[in-house]
Amino acid sequence: MGANKARRFHDFAAAVLVAGGNAIGIGAVIKIYPERMSENPLVLWLKAFVAITSFVALLLIPRWSYKPNIKDS
């Protein structure tokens, strides 16, 4: 049971780190290359889509984790 709690915490921490890293990366691209991003906003939308998809995937991982059957005997 304790191992599953640690795995769940790890999954949530990874999701937060991915969200923060992607936000910083997208913000840096917008700040460094504003002309290029305004000329081709599809790239920015694609980056945002990939960031959101990876964040959601990391939040769904705990559903696939091992959960032992606890039976009241």
Number of domains in the chain: 1
Q: Pick the closest to residue 50 from 71, 65, 29, 64 (CA basis).
A: 29
- Residue 48 in domain: yes
Cβ neighbours of residue 49 closer than 8 Å, sequence gap 6 or more: none
Q: Return the pLDDT at 11.
A: 84
- Residue 56 in domain: yes
Q: Return the pLDDT at 10.
A: 85
Token pair 């945002």: residue? 48
Q: Return the pLDDT at 60.
A: 86
Each residue's pLDDT tens digit, 28-72: 999 999 999 899 889 999 999 999 999 999 888 777 766 666 665
Q: Return the pLDDT at 70.
A: 67
- Residue 37 in domain: yes
- Residue 36 in domain: yes
Q: Return the pLDDT at 24.
A: 96
- Residue 23 in domain: no
Is there a contact between 34 and 1 (Cβ–Cβ < 8 Å)? no
Q: What range defines the domain where residue 10 resides? A: 2-14+32-64
